[in-house]
Amino acid sequence: MLQHISWLSFAKSLAVITALYYLAVLGLFYRKETFAFFHRVRRRLFLVSSAATLATIANAQDPNAGISQANTLIRGMFDTGTQLMYAIGAVLGLVGAVKTYKEWNAGHQQEAYRAATGWLGSSIFLVVVAAIIKSFFGL
């Protein structure tokens, strides 16, 4: 799958993720200064975002080809994803069993019940969701 990603799309994705990260940091730690800055430059920011949106729309391709390509890629990765969900469910089951055993031997029965419910429940949930999705989509 990674060989289908071009360097240009990787660079665009990295730039977007970096911009979102810095916007989150600015919003969390420099809230007043960030709001004052956006209030000053809101007209220019609107023009730049409009131009970027128009450039993206002008560069759009046939949506049917993209949807069919995404469908093929998802169907090709589904078996691997299902196996991954089963593996994560097995690991969660083992961790839950060890945690429950540890709490039970320490004499904390209520904590053991909580550990069993949480860890083993999440393990069963992952396995059931993988099976339901597989049968629902007929894969």
Transcribe 19-69 into DSSP letters. HHHHHHHHHHH-HHHHHHHHHHSHHHHHHHHHHHHHHHHHT---HHHHHHH
| pLDDT for the residue 17 | 85
Residue 5 has pLDDT above 70, yes or no: no
pLDDT at 4: 63
For the chain, the domains span 1-60, 64-139
Mean pLDDT, the chain, as a whole number? 78
Please, are residues 130 and 85 in contact by the beta-carbon 8 Å criterion?
yes
Percent of the chain with pLDDT over 70: 87
pLDDT at residue 109 is higher than 80: yes
pLDDT in tens, 82-96: 888 888 888 888 888
Dihedral of the alpha carbons of 37, 54, 67, 131, in degrees to the nearest 10: 10
